[in-house]
Chains A and B, each alone.
Chain A
């Protein structure tokens, strides 16, 4: 590990190590951090590096055989299914993230202004977040069934017919975005609520004395002060969107005709569902990793700037 040779003394930091300390105590921090490092190395860093390496090899039965340069990537970018999965993923992420920002902010503003039964409302919008994604998929698959589902039954009662939510490709994408919003909105609303409560109340006092209307206060004080929190929600929900897989597996299975097959399902299918094609899976994984890397770095830089401010 190059870490062991890196200079440790940070200017201005107190040196905890003293000359009098026995060598065993000097070893202590390494022993404390070792178990976690072993686990992280085995189950995260090594597989990641190995995955990048394997994306340049042709893999048969999970064993890398021969170096084949960029041919996995070439096969990937010429695969129509890959581009279909990319398009679906982008459609899903844009729809999901956009709606999350607007609706979670609205929900947080409502919760923040509420006095009566606020705790009850906060708890109830958070309940779907606790449900496992697999169960979320099963639940909404049941509710959205064409004939026996309660949603269509209600719509039929109102004379609106049966739209076939999970059968019609465009409706299926809408339904999928809606379900993911249902399952996660409470989490983001609570993050934004935390941000709202951190705003200095004297700002609002001053605005009220100046006679600013409620809406004007939201536009001029709340939203600008909330910007860092909203950026975090933007990044977190984008990452969540790119990783969507589990609830889709039980909601649509990627159908109808691949309309809700997103990138993770593409990777999973090529890795574990015959006919297996590890080359496509590893190349797609590396590209997805690069997207997530950029998003996380952006998140980190924003966090840094926010911490410095």
Chain B
């Protein structure tokens, strides 16, 4: 603890710098936290370990560790089930839908934050109100819209409908409110058009909120299930969750292959979390606590 040397000495009004040996409470607390941490992480590690076991081992000895580090389950699963196609579809859908979400949310958020126009409040409320309409309660009618637009069984059908999210508009609007008006006025006085001002001045200033929104959106789209399950009807447009969900229900599919594909599908999100943890925590503060 290097900080101890810098801390001010304890006075009668402050508890700073006072060092005590860890009490019972501190030990119990740390033990409880270690317990919760293990509870959260062990099942995921266990599936990683399980993905290296053979099928007989998985069925016969649930507590055993793999005997050898063989990637047979991965190569077998990837060859038999077109894992790479599903992975590619998931990647395309996630990236495109996120870019679309950023574009739609930033433009609408900017209009609502920085312009005074007729109907602004009504439009803001209309957009926010759609937070009450999750896809689960409009499954049939939204499916009909997608049928009418000929988007069924296409990646576009997976990308476009979920992209307009009220959370995104709200987040961007709140953030743009804090961008000073003077900055925008200055660009206008320099003769910059409205759209150019938005691209050159406003967007760069909204970067922190855009990052948070991008992370949230990537998490949503990578993990989406019910919507792709309805729209994607042939294996060449399945995303990973759809493929895994359908395959895991089939008796004929060897479980060792499922485990390998499941573990592989988690890796991108876990890596993202490892690198962007700070932003994710901030994202919760920005969206969870309005």
Q: Using a CB–CB distance below 8 Å, which chain A residues touch chain B?
A: 1-8, 10, 13-17, 24-26, 28-30, 32-33, 35-37, 39-40, 42-48, 50-51, 54, 59, 62, 107, 110-111, 113-114, 116, 120-128, 130-135, 137-143, 145, 147-150, 152-154, 157, 182, 186-187, 190-191, 194-195, 208-209, 214, 229, 232, 236, 243, 245-246, 249-250, 253, 264, 267-268, 271-272, 278, 281-282, 285-286, 288-289, 292-293, 296, 303
User: Within residues 120 to 161 of chain B, which ones have a CB less than 8 A from any CB in chain A?
Assistant: 120-123, 126-127, 130-134, 136-145, 147, 160-161
> Pick the contact of A143 from B34, B43, B105, B281 — CB < 8 Å?
B43
Q: Pick the residue among A10, A116, A143, A246 that contacts B121 (CB under 8 A).
A: A10
Max chain A C-beta neighbours (<10 A), residue from B25, B63, B139: B139
User: What is the interface of chain B mostly: helix, strand, loop, or mixed?
Assistant: helix
Task: Return chain A residues, CB-CB under 8 Å to B7.
Answer: none
Q: Closest CB-CB distance, A178 to chain B, in whole Å?
A: 11
- Contact (A195, B289) CB under 8 Å given A8-B118, A139-B43: yes
Chain B contact-residue range equals: 35 or more
With A and B bound together, what is the CA distance between A149 and B43 in angstroms? 12
Within B246-290, which residues are at the interface with A (CB < 8 Å)?
A: 248-249, 255, 258-259, 262, 265-266, 269-270, 273, 277, 280-281, 284-285, 288-290
Whether the pair B281, A190 counts as a contact (CB closer than 8 A) is yes
- Evaluate whether A17 and B117 lie within 8 angstroms (CB atoms) in the complex, with A36-B107, A148-B62, A154-B63 already known: yes
Residues B288 and A110 in contact, CB atoms below 8 Å apart: no
Query: Contacts A127-B44, A246-B225: A113 and B244 contacting too (C-beta < 8 A)?
Result: no
Measured CA separation A229–B284 after assembly (Å): 13
Residue of B nearest to A135 (CB): B262
B225, A142: Cβ atoms under 8 Å?
no
Report the Cα distance A286→B282, complex, angstroms: 35
B41–A50 CB distance below 8 A: no
User: What chain A residues lie within 8 Å of B41 (beta carbons)?
Assistant: 124, 127
* A51-B141 in contact (CB<8A): yes
Q: Which 7 A-B pairs have the closest CB atoms?
A: A132-B223, A3-B119, A39-B164, A29-B115, A3-B122, A36-B108, A47-B141
Q: B140 touching A281 by the CB < 8 A rule?
A: yes
Closest-CB distance, A305 to chain B (whole angstroms): 13
Residues of chain B within 8 A of A292, CB atoms compared: 132, 134, 137
Decide if B130 touches A44 in the complex (CB within 8 Å): yes
A33 surroundings in chain B (CB, below 8 A): 107-108, 111-112, 123
The interface centre, meaning the residue of B39, B140, B265 with most chain A CB atoms within 10 A of its CB, is B140
Q: Which residues of A contact B249 (CB under 8 A)?
A: 250, 253
Instruction: Tell me which residues across on chain A come within 8 A of B118, comparing CB atoms.
Output: 3-8
Most chain B beta-carbon neighbours within 10 Å: one of A36, A250, A268:
A36
Residues in B neighbouring A50, C-beta threshold 8 A = 141, 144
Determine the residue in chain A with the shortest Cβ distance to B195: A28
Pick the most buried of B29, B60, B123, B285: most chain A CB atoms within 10 A of its CB: B123
Other A-B pairs beyond A33-B107, A46-B145, A54-B140, 8, CB < 8 Å: A37-B126, A48-B141, A125-B40, A138-B245, A138-B248, A139-B262, A154-B63, A191-B289
Sample (22) of A-B pairs whose CB atoms are under 8 Å apart: A2-B122, A4-B119, A6-B118, A17-B116, A28-B195, A32-B110, A35-B104, A35-B108, A47-B138, A48-B141, A62-B144, A114-B29, A116-B30, A127-B44, A130-B270, A130-B273, A132-B265, A148-B60, A154-B63, A253-B249, A282-B141, A289-B133
Contact of B241 with A by CB under 8 A: yes
Of all chain A residues, the one with the shortest Cβ separation from B59 is A148
Which A residue's beta carbon lies closest to that of B142? A47
Chain B residues contacting A139 (CB-CB under 8 Å) are 43-44, 47, 262
A282: chain B residues at CB < 8 Å are: 140-141
When chains A and B are docked, how far (Å) is the Cα of A3 from the Cα of B125? 10
| Distance of A53 from chain B, by nearest CB (Å) | 9
**Residue contact B33 to A187, C-beta cutoff 8 Å:** no
A246 x B226 contact (CB < 8 A):
yes
Assess whether A40 is in contact with B288, with CB atoms less than 8 Å apart. Answer: no
Chain B residue numbers with a CB within 8 Å of A190 are 281, 284, 288
Query: In the assembled complex, which residues on chain B have CB atoms less than 8 Å from the CB atom of A122?
Result: 281
* B194 proximal to A (CB < 8 A): yes
Q: Is B211 an interface residue (CB 8 A)?
A: no
User: B46-60 vs A: 1/0 string, CB under 8 Å?
Assistant: 110010000000111
**Chain A CB within 8 A of B206 CB:** no
Q: Are B107 and A35 in contact (CB under 8 A)?
A: yes
Cβ A29 vs Cβ B111 within 8 A = yes
Supposing A3-B119, A15-B116, A267-B139 touch, asked if A36 and B59 sit within 8 A by C-beta, the answer is no
Contact of B138 among A44, A131, A303 (CB under 8 A): A44
Distance (whole angstroms) from the CB of A306 to the closest CB of chain B? 9
Does B138 lie within 8 Å of A135, measured CB to CB? no
Residues of A within 8 A of B169 (CB): 36
Is there an interface contact between A271 and B133, defined as CB atoms closer than 8 Å? no
Q: Which one, A5, A36, A124, contacts B104 given CB within 8 A?
A: A36
Task: Please tell me if the beta carbons of A1 and B133 are within 8 angstroms of each other in the complex.
Answer: no
Task: Flag if A293 contacts B122 (CB, 8 Å).
Answer: no
CB-defined contacts of A268 to chain B, threshold 8 Å: 139, 226
A120–B36 CA distance with the chains assembled, in angstroms:
12
